[in-house]
Amino acid sequence: MSKIKRTSEDWAVDIFSYIFLTVFALITLLPPMNIVAKSLSAEWAIISGKVGLLPIGFQLNTFKYVVTNTQFLHSLLLSLSITILGTGLSIIVSGATAYPLSKRHLPGIKVILFLYVFTMFFSGGLIPNYLLLKKLNMLNHLSAVIIPGMINVFNMLIIKNYYETLPDSLEESAKLDGASNIRILFSIIIPLSLPVYATITLFTAVAHWNDYFTPMIYLNDSRLKVLTVYLRDVVMNVSDPSKMSEDELLNVSPEGVKAATIVASTVPILLVYPYLQKYFIKGILIGSVKE
């Protein structure tokens, strides 16, 4: 073992590295800290602009108000439902479709694959898609945010690539034993592919949960307001008018409500974040480092 000599350059690089990363991490943390602080501060402190990184006049009324708001809860549940339904449908269809597509020797598969890949680079655009959903009577219907995005080709290709890494010998021996393709899919392929399914499920779930544009365009009915759209309304001060009188009643500042709503909307993501980290990183590695 050679002796490791620490030079002054070593110190310089280390110090710089720690400082740079700490600064960057702080820049990442400071804005949310301000928002969280505001959500926990008293009305007078927020209005006079005194709130920095720590709450002043700590109170939980704002949060109570925000979290018990019927529209908030309704939107939360709606987003949850859409995420579960949309993700479930997506992973089933994508995972199933990816299997035949991983069998390049089958006649016609390459053509069908091309048909899918082509849509990654070219699409009808906003208006034609809108007009189509209008024609199909899907406007203002949950199907508008669940079905059009059902198969994300990029994600499906990740699943397909994963299938291709499974050893052929497994299927071959199963075939020799007389198993049908479907049998092989369900008994062998699916159980072995759980990691990639977990990754794609998380990718898809986060995308659904955070989607603003699609629900904003297609779900105009006030009963179909998803969490992102509701949050946007609150931030832009166009939330339900009944709020105004209740504000005075509870002595809750609108700025505090905005901050608390932002925080409350983020909690679900924070809860699953550890899993997201683990599987998302895996997914990036599977999907992109291809030689």
Partner 1 sequence: MKRISFKKDNKDVKEKSIWITIKKNYDMYLILIPGLVYLIIFKYLPMYGVTIAFQDFNIFKGISGSKWVGLMHFRNLLYSKEFFRVFRNTLLLSIYDIIFLFPLPIFIAIVLNEIKNIFYKKTVQTIIYLPHFLSWVVVSGIFINILSPSGGFVNNIISLFGGKPISFLMDKHWFRSILVISSGWKGAGWSAIIYIAAITGISPELYEAAKIDGAGRIKQIIYITLPGIASTIVMLFILRLGHILQVGTEQVLLMYNPTVYDVGDVIGTYVYRMGLGKMDYSFSTAVGLFNSVIGFVLVMIANALSRKLVKRSIW
What is the footprint of partner 1 within residues 53-92 (CB under 8 A)?
A: none
Site mask for partner 1 (CB under 8 A), range 169-198, x = bound: -----------xxx--x-------------
Q: Please identify, using beta-carbon distances, which residue of 95 and 245 lies nearer to partner 1.
A: 95
Distance of alpha carbon 190 from alpha carbon 196, whole angstroms: 10
Identify which range of 68-76, 118-126, 163-171, 241-249 contacts partner 1 by CB under 8 A: 118-126
| Both structure tokens of 83 | 């995420």
Task: Considering the complex, state which of residue 66 and residue 262 has its C-beta at the smaller distance from partner 1.
Answer: 262
Q: Using the rule CB under 8 A, which residue among 3, 108, 176, 248 binds partner 1?
A: 108
CB of 60 to partner 1, least distance (A): 20
Instruction: State how far the Cα of 257 lies from the Cα of 43, in Å rounded to an integer.
Output: 10
Question: Per CB under 8 A, does 29 bind partner 1?
Answer: yes
Q: Return the number of the residue (76 or 157) whose C-beta is nearest partner 1.
A: 157
Task: Round to whole Å and give the CA distance between 258 and 210.
Answer: 18
The token duo for 67 is: 């979290």
15 binds partner 1 (CB under 8 A): no
Six-digit token pair at 112? 């069908």
Write phi, then psi, for 86 (nearest 5 degrees). -60, -45
Q: In this chain, which of 235, 243, 247, 251 binds partner 1, going by CB under 8 A?
A: 235
Give the list of residues 6+ apart from residue 62 with CB closer than 8 angstroms, or none: 39, 40, 252, 253, 256, 257, 259, 260
Shortest Cβ 150–partner 1 spacing (Å): 6
CB of 185 to partner 1, least distance (A): 8
Choose, by CB under 8 A, the member of 60, 194, 244, 281 that binds partner 1: 281
The candidate with the shortest Cα–Cα distance to 141, out of 65, 82, 207, 192, is 82
Number of residues that bind partner 1 (CB under 8 A): 93
Does residue 265 bind partner 1 (CB under 8 A)? yes
284 binds partner 1 (CB under 8 A): yes
Verify binding: residue 231, partner 1, rule CB under 8 A: yes
Cα distances (Å, whole numbers) of residue 111 to 9, 57, 94, 163, 172? 57, 65, 17, 19, 25
By beta-carbon proximity to partner 1, the closer residue of 48 and 169 is 48
C-alpha 81/C-alpha 87 separation (Å) is: 10
- Binding of partner 1 at residue 9 (CB under 8 A)? yes
Which residue, 249 or 269, is less far from partner 1 as judged by CB? 269
DSSP conformation letters of 252-287: --HHHHHHHHHHHHHHHHHHHHHHHHHHHHHHHHHH
Q: Which is nearer to partner 1, 22 or 81 (CB)?
A: 22
Burial 62-82 (b: 16+ CB within 10 A, else e): bbebbbebebbebbbebbeeb
Q: At what angle do helices 109-121 and 153-165 cross, to 10 degrees?
A: 140
In the complex, least distance from residue 262 CB atom to partner 1, rounded to whole angstroms? 5
Q: Which residue lies nearer to partner 1 by CB, 121 or 169?
A: 121
Site string for partner 1, 136-165 (x = CB under 8 A): -----------xx-xx-----x--------
Residue 204 in contact with partner 1, rule: CB under 8 A = no
101: which 2 tokens?
């597509």
